[in-house]
Structure 1
Amino acid sequence: MRADAEDNRRALLDAAREVFVEEGTSVALDKIAKRAGVGIGTLYRRFPDRDALLRGVLVDLFESMTAAARAAEEPGGARPGWERLVRAVAGLGIGPALPIIFRERLDLIDDPGVSASMQEAIAAVEGVYERAQAAGELRGDVSFLEIQMLAGMLSMSRPTYPPTVDPDLITDRLVHLLLDGLRASPGTTKLPGEPIVFSPLDPDDRAAVERAIVEENERIKKLKG
């Protein structure tokens, strides 16, 4: 792919992720093209329809997670690999994007490309955390899902930061607090209950998500009615 074509694709994926979070997945596609700084024709050449764009955003997010996990496994660096991974995940924008897209289009999990990239990302990221737990670096009473949720919350909080504060600085401070809580330490207080394990790729968990979506949509309908 030519450099300019890749730049356009990158801009469209970034813009789509932002606009989907702001306005939902049914937003007019010309808004995404405008945010990306390209014409609507360029969008359709890269992504023939809305579903193709949604699949592209999801696959891109999961591939970014996989790349972050692999980078975390590379030797060297001032911090342990699992800490670098938490920092990377906090900056990917997964926190706000995935819940919104899957709440409105959970059926996209059945797409072979989305499913494969999701499974690869889970295996790669979970592997980093499991090896850190086995090495005694990461507390053992926390699950992959819980770490992802915590890191995702940081990316979701950026728009609410005080305008007088450097967002990169406050993100760094919050990530530092998160890492302190995740490190294995003799003084760490045991968490209540058991680590939360959940995957929408599991049939039972998928059914639970579908029920929750129906209940939430009914609640919203009542509020509007």
Structure 2
Amino acid sequence: MRADAEDNRRALLEAAREVFVEEGTSVALDKIAKRAGVGIGTLYRRFPDRDALLRGVIVDIFESMTDAVRTAEAADEAAHGARPAWERLVRAVAGLGIGPALPVIFRERLDLIDEPGVAAAMRAAVTAVEGVYQAAQDAGELRGDVGFLEIQMLAGMLSMSRPNYPPTVDPDLLTDRLVAILLDGLRAAPGNSALPGAAVVFSPLDPDDRAAVERAIAEENERIGKRRG
């Protein structure tokens, strides 16, 4: 793919991720093209229909996570553990800016999980991420009573909060500070307080978890319908 074509594809994926969060997945596609700074024809050349664009966004998010794992592990090896891979990964996820995108898309289009490409990208990302965190727990670096999904959720919340940062602060510096606070809470240490309850374990690829999500979505849609009625 030519450099300009790849630039357009990346701009469209990033714009779609933002606009879907702001307005939902049924938003007019020309809004996404305008946000990306390209024409609607360019959008359709890259993504023939709405589903193709949604799949593209989801797969890109999971591939970004997998790439973050590879980068964190390579940097960890090059630095001889000066900053563990799991800490680098938490920092990377916080900086990806993907916090709210997946929940919004899956709430409206959970069926996309059944797409082979989406499911494969999700499995690859989950396997890679969990491998880093499991190794850190086995090494006694990461507290053992926290779930891998919980770590991703916390890091994702930081990426979601960036647009709401006070305008007088440097967003990168504030993110670094918040990530440092988060890492201190995740490191295994004698003074760690016991966490209430059990670690959260959840995957939409699991049939039982998938059914629970579908029930929750149906109940939410019913509540929304009653309020509008």
- TM-score tier after normalising by the smaller chain length: over 0.9
| C-alpha displacement of 1:76 | 2.7
Q: Which residue of 1 aligns with 2:200?
A: 196
| C-alpha displacement of 1:71 | 1.2
Q: TM-score, normalised by structure 1?
A: 0.98
1:127 paired to 2:131: yes
How far apart in 2 are the matches of 1:20 and 1:197? 26
Q: Which residue of 1 aligns with 2:50?
A: 50
CA RMSD of aligned residues (A): 0.9
Tell me which moved more, 116-125 or 71-80: 71-80
Q: Kindly report which structure 2 residues correspond to 1:21-32, keeping only aligned pairs within 5 A, or say none.
A: 21-32=21-32
Q: Which residue of 1 aligns with 2:89?
A: 85
Give CA-to-partner distance per residue, 1:74-110, whole Å, 9 cap, x none.
1134421100000111122221100000000000000
How far apart in 2 are the matches of 1:172 and 1:76? 22
Tell me the SS of whatever aligns to 1:102.
helix
Structure 2: tracts of 5 or more residues without a match: none
Q: TM-score, normalised by structure 2?
A: 0.96
Q: Which residue of 2 aligns with 1:11?
A: 11
| C-alpha displacement of 1:171 | 1.0
Q: Which residue of 2 aligns with 1:36?
A: 36
- Whichever residue aligns with residue 51 of structure 1, its letter is D
How far apart in 1 are the matches of 2:227 and 2:155? 31
Aligned identity (percent) is 83
Q: Kindly report which structure 2 residues correspond to 1:62-211, keeping only aligned pairs within 5 A, or say none.
A: 62-74=62-74, 75-77=77-79, 78-211=82-215
How far apart in 1 are the matches of 2:160 and 2:3? 30
- Whichever residue aligns with residue 25 of structure 1, its letter is T
| C-alpha displacement of 1:50 | 0.2
How far apart in 2 are the matches of 1:160 and 1:70? 30
| C-alpha displacement of 1:221 | 2.0
Give CA-to-partner distance per residue, 1:111-142, whole Å, 9 cap, x none.
00000000000000000000000001000001
Give CA-to-partner distance per residue, 1:161-210, whole Å, 9 cap, x none.
11111111111111111000000001111111111111000000000000
Runs of 4+ in 1 over 6 A off after TM superposition: none
- Whichever residue aligns with residue 159 of structure 1, its letter is P
How far apart in 1 are the matches of 2:39 and 2:128? 36
> Taking structure 1 as reference, are residues 223 and 121 closer, same or farther at Cα in structure 2, changes over 3 Å only?
same
